[in-house]
């Protein structure tokens, strides 16, 4: 039975009344083509818009089972539909319908990455879209005529144009799904191919600008082309054979003159832990799921992190096996970032000299002569990077144009010249053999284990001073957790605000696994397993459309940056 008329009747009845009367429209309405759920009505025209869902029976959409035959395809298909919905909202929703957010119809904004999120849910039974509407009001009085236009005119048009095969291009849908499925397959093959990353020939890596992740205009781009020595051919389920640069495990150095494309290549690898939309240019730039960008972040908080592989003998005998500070230096922050990433399960470290602490990276022969080792707490990364691979199986890809000391420890060296990579491994080796700088390796002894830490549950408090639970995000780099603000500015692999939102909730969710015995890594693994098995909805007590999947590595990093965090080290 269609009952959407009821919605129209309520709207007529509450027309012109105070905004709060909108609460009466909460509920479920049956339209001709879909079911409408008005889950939550906003408190006033300026607050977060109302949460709305539309559900269409799968059988009526025309979408075949092949579009959702595995997790990879389902994620990409949902992403495709969400993009259609987003675009149609932009086109169909007439925004000027009163004060504040009046007239807004929108869905969580898609980025260049194809991400698992809650905005679009496709099951064998239905297609459900979760979005936001700004209910219209003038002077805080309900504008029913506008509300009717939104619910009975704009919304059905947006739904019709977004969620039915007859309105969409099946080839475009298939391409979106297949590109993403290929990227997943490629990522899945890297390990057995002995690689940590892959960049397909013909890739377009540079971005439109430092704040615009869309591709740089086509005419200005030098397409990527692998040096022969590192060219690998992989076989993908949809595209078939694809050739490109395979970055082997071990220590890889990327060097070259300034402005020749080094950082652009590394950035592509950083975000290669995600799949990219067709046309992005990085569809075949893929890195292993455990690749973590490491950078200096002075000023951050560190809680009992074992940084002893890199830093020892601090002034006042401060213990670096359990190093704490409320104000890290560049080098200690970078050492902590590496230890914490390893502790959380990272398999590959990505570093760019642009964002590294110099004294953490290098200590040249002249400095070794002036400042004796016993007066320098830092064992520079150059003397540990090989050990990391040999002893812990952790690879490093490092952009370093400023110091040749790394030649001696690199397994392969790639030079960027006018945005073209070439293999200079042999040249670098010859230079090392014929130029003895007299520099001494300071990486004495084994790396040793990094002591795992156990989070103390009582140091997590989701309640504000007023005693209300408060967990929210501010933009994509801040989580507010109770009275604590968690600053994530240095986590460069967060790509979506809704990942940050979801991580805030995940910290609360993770508390159930903090029993005084599980390590931080074990806690985040449990959360990740639950998300795999039950989906992102477990993070919220009610349905929302703005949660996006994050990696356990970022969740650990967020917890590590919480200034109230307390841990004990495992004995």
Binding site for ligand ADP (CB under 6 A): 205-206, 216, 220-222, 256, 258-264, 416, 419
Query: Binding to Mg ion by residue 259, rule CB under 5 A?
Result: no
463 binds, among Mg ion, ligand ADP, none (CB under 5 to 8 A by kind): none
367 binds, among ligand ADP, Mg ion, none (CB under 5 to 8 A by kind): none
Q: Which is nearer to Mg ion, 377 or 401 (CB)?
A: 401
422 binds, among ligand ADP, Mg ion, none (CB under 5 to 8 A by kind): none
CA dist., res. 506 & res. 241, Å (int): 39
Query: Binding to Mg ion by residue 263, rule CB under 5 A?
Result: yes
Minimal distance in Å, beta carbon 565 to ligand ADP? 34
Per-residue DSSP letter, 224: -
205 binds, among Mg ion, ligand ADP, none (CB under 5 to 8 A by kind): ligand ADP
CA-CA-CA-CA dihedral for 191, 193, 195, 196, to nearest 10: -30
Show the beta-strand stretches assigned E in 260-372: 275-276, 285-287, 291-294, 302-305, 323-325, 348-352
261 binds, among ligand ADP, Mg ion, none (CB under 5 to 8 A by kind): ligand ADP
CA-CA-CA-CA dihedral for 377, 382, 388, 393, to nearest 10: 170
Minimal distance in Å, beta carbon 353 to Mg ion? 7
CB-based contacts of 201, cutoff 8 Å, min separation 6:
223, 224, 225, 226, 231, 242, 243, 244, 245
User: Using CB atoms, what's the residue nearest to Mg ion?
Assistant: 263
CA dist., res. 397 & res. 390, Å (int): 15
Q: Which is nearer to Mg ion, 354 or 515 (CB)?
A: 354
Asked whether the beta carbons of 398 and 251 are under 8 A apart, the reply is yes
CA dist., res. 26 & res. 135, Å (int): 12
Q: Which is nearer to ligand ADP, 162 or 287 (CB)?
A: 287
Q: Which is nearer to ligand ADP, 220 or 434 (CB)?
A: 220
Q: Which is nearer to ligand ADP, 356 or 555 (CB)?
A: 356
- The radius of gyration of the chain's CA atoms, rounded to the nearest angstrom, is 26
Q: Which is nearer to ligand ADP, 101 or 295 (CB)?
A: 295
Asked whether the beta carbons of 176 and 80 are under 8 A apart, the reply is yes
CA dist., res. 25 & res. 502, Å (int): 28
Minimal distance in Å, beta carbon 349 to ligand ADP? 18
Asked whether the beta carbons of 115 and 496 are under 8 A apart, the reply is yes
Query: Binding to Mg ion by residue 395, rule CB under 5 A?
Result: no
Helix %, strand %, coil % of the chain (to 5)? 40, 25, 40
Asked whether the beta carbons of 30 and 520 are under 8 A apart, the reply is no
Among 134-142, 300-308, 349-357, 468-476, which window interacts with Mg ion (CB under 5 A)? 349-357
Q: Which is nearer to Mg ion, 397 or 503 (CB)?
A: 397
Minimal distance in Å, beta carbon 403 to Mg ion? 14
- Determine which helix (DSSP H) or strand (DSSP E) holds 334, and give its type and residue range: helix 330-343
Q: Which is nearer to ligand ADP, 291 or 547 (CB)?
A: 291
CB-based contacts of 497, cutoff 8 Å, min separation 6:
473, 475, 476
282 binds, among ligand ADP, Mg ion, none (CB under 5 to 8 A by kind): none
CA dist., res. 549 & res. 505, Å (int): 12
Considering only 66, 125, 354, 426, the residue that binds Mg ion (CB under 5 A) is: 354
Query: Per-residue contact track with Mg ion, 302 to 341, x per CB under 5 A?
Result: ----------------------------------------
Phi, psi of 326 (to 5 degrees): -95, 0
206 binds, among ligand ADP, Mg ion, none (CB under 5 to 8 A by kind): ligand ADP
258 binds, among Mg ion, ligand ADP, none (CB under 5 to 8 A by kind): ligand ADP
35 binds, among ligand ADP, Mg ion, none (CB under 5 to 8 A by kind): none
Q: Which is nearer to ligand ADP, 210 or 317 (CB)?
A: 210
Q: Which is nearer to Mg ion, 260 or 389 (CB)?
A: 260
DSSP 3-state assignment of 254? strand
89 binds, among ligand ADP, Mg ion, none (CB under 5 to 8 A by kind): none
Minimal distance in Å, beta carbon 216 to ligand ADP? 6
Q: Which is nearer to Mg ion, 90 or 354 (CB)?
A: 354
Measure CA of the first residue to CA of the last residue in the chain; give whole Å: 65
Nearest partner of 460 among 518, 502, 512, judged by Cα: 512
Minimal distance in Å, beta carbon 263 to Mg ion? 3
CA distances from 234 to 174, 237, 279, 369, 397 (A): 21, 10, 20, 49, 21
Minimal distance in Å, beta carbon 266 to Mg ion? 8
Binding site for Mg ion (CB under 5 A): 263, 354
């Amino acid at each position: 039975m269609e009952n959407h008329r009821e919605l129209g009747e309520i709207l007529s009845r509450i027309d012109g009344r105070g905004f709060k009367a909108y609460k009466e429209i909460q509920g479920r309405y049956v339209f001709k083509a879909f079911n409408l759920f008005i889950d939550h009505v906003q408190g006033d025209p300026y607050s977060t818009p109302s949460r709305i869902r539309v559900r269409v029976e799968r059988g009526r959409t025309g979408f075949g089972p092949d579009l959702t035959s595995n997790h990879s395809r389902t994620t990409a298909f949902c992403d495709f539909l969400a993009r259609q919905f987003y675009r149609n909202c932009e086109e169909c929703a007439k925004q000027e319908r009163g004060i504040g957010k009046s007239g807004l119809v929108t869905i969580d904004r898609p980025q260049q990455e194809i991400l698992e999120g809650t905005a679009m849910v496709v099951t064998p039974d239905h297609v459900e879209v979760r979005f936001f509407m700004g209910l219209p009001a003038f002077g805080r009085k309900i504008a029913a005529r506008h509300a009717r236009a939104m619910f009975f005119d704009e919304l059905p048009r947006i739904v019709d144009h977004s969620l039915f095969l007859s309105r969409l291009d099946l080839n475009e849908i298939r391409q979106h799904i297949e590109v993403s499925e290929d990227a997943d397959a490629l990522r899945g093959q890297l390990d057995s191919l002995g690689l940590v990353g892959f960049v397909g020939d013909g890739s377009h890596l540079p971005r439109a600008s430092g704040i615009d992740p869309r591709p740089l205009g086509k005419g200005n781009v030098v397409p990527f082309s692998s040096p022969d020595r590192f060219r690998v051919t992989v076989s993908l389920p949809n595209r078939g054979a694809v050739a490109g640069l395979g970055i082997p495990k071990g220590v890889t150095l990327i060097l070259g003159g300034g402005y020749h494309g080094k950082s652009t290549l590394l950035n592509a690898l950083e975000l290669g832990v995600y799949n990219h939309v067709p046309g992005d240019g990085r569809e075949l730039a893929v890195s292993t799921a455990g690749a973590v960008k490491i950078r200096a972040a002075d000023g951050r908080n560190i809680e009992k992190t074992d940084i002893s592989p890199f830093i020892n003998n601090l002034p006042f005998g401060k213990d670096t096996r359990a190093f704490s500070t409320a104000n890290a230096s560049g080098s200690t922050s970078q050492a902590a970032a590496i230890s914490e990433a390893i502790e959380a399960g990272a398999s590959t470290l990505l570093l760019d000299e642009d964002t590294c602490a110099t004294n953490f990276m290098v200590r040249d022969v002249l400095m070794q002569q002036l400042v004796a080792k016993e007066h320098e707490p830092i064992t520079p990364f150059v003397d540990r990077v090989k050990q990391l691979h040999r002893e812990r199986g952790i690879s490093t890809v490092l952009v370093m144009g400023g110091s040749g000391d790394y030649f001696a420890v690199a397994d392969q060296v790639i030079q960027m010249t006018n945005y073209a990579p070439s293999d200079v491994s042999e040249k670098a080796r010859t230079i090392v053999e014929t130029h003895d700088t007299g520099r001494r390796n300071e990486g004495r002894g084994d790396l040793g284990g990094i002591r795992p830490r156990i989070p103390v549950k009582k140091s997590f408090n989701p309640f504000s001073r007023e005693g209300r639970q408060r967990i929210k995000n501010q933009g994509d780099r801040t989580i507010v957790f109770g009275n604590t603000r968690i600053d994530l500015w240095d986590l460069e692999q967060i790509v979506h605000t809704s990942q940050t939102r979801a991580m805030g909730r995940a910290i609360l969710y993770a508390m159930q696994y903090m029993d005084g015995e599980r390590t931080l890594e074990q806690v985040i693994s449990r959360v990740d397993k639950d998300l795999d098995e039950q989906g992102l909805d477990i993070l919220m007590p009610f349905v929302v459309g703005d949660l996006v999947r994050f990696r356990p590595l970022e969740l650990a990093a967020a917890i590590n940056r919480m200034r109230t965090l307390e841990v004990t080290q495992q004995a």
